[in-house]
Every structure is written in C-alpha cells, then in structure tokens.
C-alpha cells in the first residue's frame, strides 16, 4: 500500500453499510491532455490559463512535486516549475471525457450525483446484489476507467457523503480508502480543522486561536465556545460533521442555482469600451449556456475585481425571467455604470441566478415589444455556432476592423448588430 495510507482503511476493511462512494478523477484535465499526447507521460504538465493572469486548472503529479496546485496563478506555477509543459484547457476533449466518466458511473447505479466534470457521489446500496460489496464496486469502476478511458481515479467508500469525499482525497492518486462505520471517528478526529466542509482560511484561523487544530478537538470543544466564535449555524454544522454525522442522501437531480462566466484581463483595464465589450461577450456566453441548459433566470449579477484585489458584487432582480443575452447585458451594463468604478479592473464576471425551467416559465412581453426578436435571433445564432463554430457569428461590437475584414471573407459568417433587434418576420 502506498506510503501514508493506513491499513485499517484499506481494501480488506469492513465495508458493511458503506454504500456511499465518492469517485474523483486524478488530475483530470492534465490526464486527458497526456492521454491525447502520450509523449507527455511522466512529465510535469500544467493545464489552465496560459497568459500572465491565467490560473492553473489541473497539474500532473509530476508538477505537483514542485508545489504546483490547482487555482494557483500560472505565473507562480512557472516560477515553481519552469520546465513544466503549460497547456490551455481543451474544452471539447474535457467534455467528451467527462461524459464517458459519468456514463461508467451510471452503468453501476442510477443514483449518481455529479459535483463537477470529474467527480461524483454514488449510492451503491441497490447495486450490491449484482456487483458485489461496495469495495468491489469501487475496484470495478477503477478497472473500467483504466481499460476503457485510460484514466485513473480515486475512490472513498464510507457510510456518509462527507466521509466518502475525505476518503477519496486520502486515496489519491489511483487508490481506494474504505472507512468502516465503526472507525469513522478514528479516521476523522486526527484530521486538521480545514478538512471539514465550510472551514476556509478565516474560520480555520479563528479555530486555531481557540486552540482547536484537529477535528477531534472541535468534537470535544464546548458547543458554546464554537457558537461564540463562529455563530449558531456554523457551530452546529461543524459540531455535527466532527462527529461524522451527515444525513444527506445522494441526489441524482442537482438543481442548478446559477449560470455564469468570468474574464480575467491580461493587464489591468480602465478603458470603458474594453470593459463594455467584455461584459457583452460574457453576457453572450451566459445567455448561450442558459439556453443550452433549458433554464431562465430573474436575478442578474456582476462581479468586478479591482487591481488591488478588492471584489465588488452587485445584482438586480428583473420583472421577467430571461435567457436573452441582450437583456442580460442591458442589466449588467446598468449595474456596472452605477458602480462608478474609476480604478483599474482585473476581472469582470456575469451571472444569472434564481433559475427555473424555461419550458414551464411564461414570458411576459413588455409594452411595445415585438413577439419575435432578440431571443429568436440568439437561438438562430446558437444553431449557426453549433454547426460552424463560435467564430462564425459574433456581435459587431465585439469585432475590431481586422476582425470585420476576416468575417467578410468567412463563408459562414454572420455579424449580429448590437443596437437594434431583428425585424420580426
């Protein structure tokens, strides 16, 4: 067994009642890149934003030995590992690999709760009759992943979701950790306080000032002490988790709460035209994602991060749910101009919240609004992009003169004006 893994939580551990699996792919984005180019195998590979303001999305374990981690600025990763191979995220390849991974999960059980493109909870209680014990199912998933996808994954097997997720973290890379019901506290209590869900840097520092550095110390601390430091809700939440209590079931239907997109500038920006174009591009992306997911939303929000890393968030709830980029952008631009921001800006983001099913949400027309217009134009744009690619159609205000010249020569190009909606047919 690899160094650092306790044999009490290995493949021979008692998995009776441990029907929750958390499966997490190993260095997913980097592994997909290595699979596409086997010459990268064994080398430090970093995937993410490759520009000066980029952020690491994934790093191979060879790169992690140098201290490179996900969410780290790419510039910092280059300093730590200058010989690493830096690659942009291959969205289509990641999407295809994610669908294949989730398909393997759903072959095992219909009770799959995806957390992201590369991890999910599985409830295998009903699968045991056909596929065997939970640990045998974990091994089956790992074997299929390797044989069919040439990817590795790590699996936590436990009685609850929280402990299963901690187990998969301990199992990395390419392993299985089983946490028997009788040993949950033995597993949990030596862990540092930031292993608990909801404990970020600030909460961890608060707990350390109280002399609480492990999960076991939180479990034994007076609940009143936790309330005084963290508040009622957080204190109760952490106290329950510290005793291994997590009643949540695996939920296959995860309700999307929001859809958004962000953009980090290569250099800090103060030009209102650049910011306006960026917010329009983000609104276009969010609108397309909403339509693709079949959702509409009423609350539109912006995120603005200034050069000194101060972050401002503003939102507005509109009268009618929407998935129309034009409508999203109008609200976004009004929110931004109301900020009166004069400092240089590092990042902007657009998000739509309060989502509902578009098919069951009636859309009320404003006075004087045509029955057909922007939404139909954007839906037609979606179809063009799906067939010919994103470069084939863009709002004219997003194009410079050189872009416009290239567009005129593109056999399938369409320029959508920003100012006026299309004439209803």
The pLDDT score that the predictor gives to residue 365 is 43
Contact between 93 and 32 under an 8 Å Cβ cutoff? The reply is yes
- Mean predicted confidence (pLDDT) in 317-343: 90
Tell which wins on pLDDT, 293 or 179: 179
Q: In what order do the strands lie in the sheet with 56-59?
A: 56-59, 45-48, 85-87
A 10 A CB-CB count for 172 gives 18
Report the 10 Å Cβ neighbour count for 360. Answer: 8
The confidence band for 375, taking pLDDT boundaries of 50, 70 and 90, is: low
pLDDT of 421 over the 70 cut: no
Q: pLDDT higher for 50 or 337? A: 337
Q: Which pLDDT does position 358 carry in this prediction?
A: 79
Residue 102 has pLDDT above 70, yes or no: yes
Banded pLDDT at 254 (limits 50, 70, 90): low
Beta-bridge mates of residue 83: none
* pLDDT tens readout for residues 79-97: 999 999 999 988 889 989 9
Residues 55, 72: contact at Cβ < 8 Å? yes
Q: 408 or 355, which is more confident? A: 355
- Give the pLDDT of residue 374: 54
Q: Which element (helix H / strand E) includes 242?
A: helix 232-242
Range in 315-319, 354-358, 386-390, 402-406 with the lowest mean pLDDT: 402-406
pTM above 0.95, yes or no: no
Query: What is the chain's mean pLDDT, rounded?
Result: 83
> Residue 418: what pLDDT?
38
Percentage with pLDDT > 90 across the chain: 54
Q: Percentage of the chain surpassing pLDDT 70?
A: 82
Task: Confirm whether residue 268 is marked as ligand binding.
Answer: no
CA angle 56, 58, 61 (to 5 degrees): 120
Give the residue numbers annotated as catalytic, written as ranges.
119
Q: Average of pLDDT values for 259-263? A: 88
List of domains in the chain: 189-242 (1.10.150.20), 258-416 (3.30.1490.100)
Q: What is the pLDDT of residue 400?
A: 45
pLDDT of residue 131: 94
Indicate the burial class of 366 (C-beta count within 10 angstroms; 0-12, 13-18, 19 or more).
exposed
pLDDT of residue 117: 87
Q: Is pLDDT above 90 for 76?
A: yes
Phi-psi region of 132 (alpha: psi -120 to 50; beta: other; left: phi over 0): left
Structure confidence at residue 144 (pLDDT)? 96
pLDDT at 234: 85
Q: Which of 157-171, 210-224, 265-279, 388-402 bottoms out in mean pLDDT, i.e. has the lowest?
A: 388-402
Is the predicted pLDDT of residue 5 greater than 80, yes or no? no
pLDDT tens-digit series, residues 9-22: 999 999 999 999 99
Report the distance separating Cα 9 and Cα 126, nearest Å.
23
Q: Average the pLDDT over 135-146 and give the result.
A: 96
* pLDDT value of residue 120: 95
At residue 256, the pLDDT reads 62
Give the pLDDT band (50/70/90) at residue 382. low
pLDDT exceeds 90 at position 265: no
N-term to C-term CA, the chain: 69
pLDDT at 257: 75
CA distance 92 to 245: 39
The CA distance from 46 to 86, in Å, is 5
User: Does position 395 have pLDDT exceeding 60, yes or no?
Assistant: no
Residue 354: what pLDDT?
86
- Confirm whether residue 118 is marked as ligand binding: yes
Query: What distances in angstroms separate CA 415 from CA 223, 372, 399, 406, one per listed residue?
Result: 62, 19, 9, 11
pLDDT band (50, 70, 90) for residue 4: low
Confidence band for 356, pLDDT divided at 50, 70 and 90? confident
Residues 282, 348 contacting (CB under 8 angstroms): yes
**pLDDT above 80 for 207:** yes
């Amino acid at each position: 067994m690899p160094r650092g893994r306790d044999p009490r939580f290995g493949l021979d551990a008692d998995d009776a009642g441990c029907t929750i699996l958390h499966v997490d792919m190993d260095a997913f984005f980097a592994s997909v890149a290595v699979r596409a180019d086997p010459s990268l195998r064994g080398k430090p590979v970093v995937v993410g934003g490759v520009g000066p303001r980029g952020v690491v999305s994934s790093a191979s374990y060879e790169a992690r030995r140098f201290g490179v981690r996900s969410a780290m600025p790419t510039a910092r990763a280059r300093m730590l590992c200058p010989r690493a191979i830096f690659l942009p995220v291959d969205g289509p390849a990641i999407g295809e690999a994610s669908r294949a991974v989730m398909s393997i999960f759903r072959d095992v059980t219909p009770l799959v709760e995806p957390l992201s493109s590369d991890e999910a909870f599985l409830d295998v209680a009903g699968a045991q009759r056909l596929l065997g014990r939970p640990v045998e199912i974990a091994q089956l998933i790992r074997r299929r992943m390797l044989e069919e996808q040439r990817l590795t994954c790590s699996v936590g097997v436990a009685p609850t979701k929280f402990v299963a997720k901690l187990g998969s973290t301990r199992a990395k890379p390419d392993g299985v950790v089983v946490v028997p019901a009788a040993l949950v506290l033995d597993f949990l209590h030596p862990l540092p306080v930031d292993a608990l869900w909801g404990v970020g840097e600030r909460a961890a520092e608060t707990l350390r000032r109280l002399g609480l550095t492990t999960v076991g110390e939180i479990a034994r601390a007076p609940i009143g002490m936790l309330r005084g430091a963290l508040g009622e809700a957080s204190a109760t939440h952490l106290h329950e988790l510290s005793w291994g209590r997590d009643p949540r079931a695996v939920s296959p239907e995860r309700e999307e709460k929001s859809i958004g997109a962000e953009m980090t500038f290569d250099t800090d920006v103060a030009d209102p035209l650049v910011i306006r174009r960026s917010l329009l591009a983000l609104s276009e992306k969010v609108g397309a994602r909403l339509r693709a997911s079949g959702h509409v939303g009423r609350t539109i929000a912006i995120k603005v991060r200034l050069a000194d890393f101060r972050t401002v968030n503003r939102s507005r709830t509109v009268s009618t749910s929407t998935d129309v980029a034009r409508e999203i952008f109008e609200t976004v631009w009004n929110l931004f101009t109301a900020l009166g921001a004069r400092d240089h800006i590092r990042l902007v983001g657009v998000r739509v919240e309060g989502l509902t099913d578009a098919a069951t949400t009636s859309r009320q027309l404003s006075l004087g609004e045509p029955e057909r217009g922007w939404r139909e134009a954007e839906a037609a744009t979606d179809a063009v992009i799906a067939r010919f690619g994103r470069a084939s159609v863009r709002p004219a205000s997003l194009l410079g003169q050189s872009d416009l010249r290239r567009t005129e020569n593109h056999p399938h190009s369409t320029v959508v004006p920003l100012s006026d909606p299309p004439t209803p047919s």
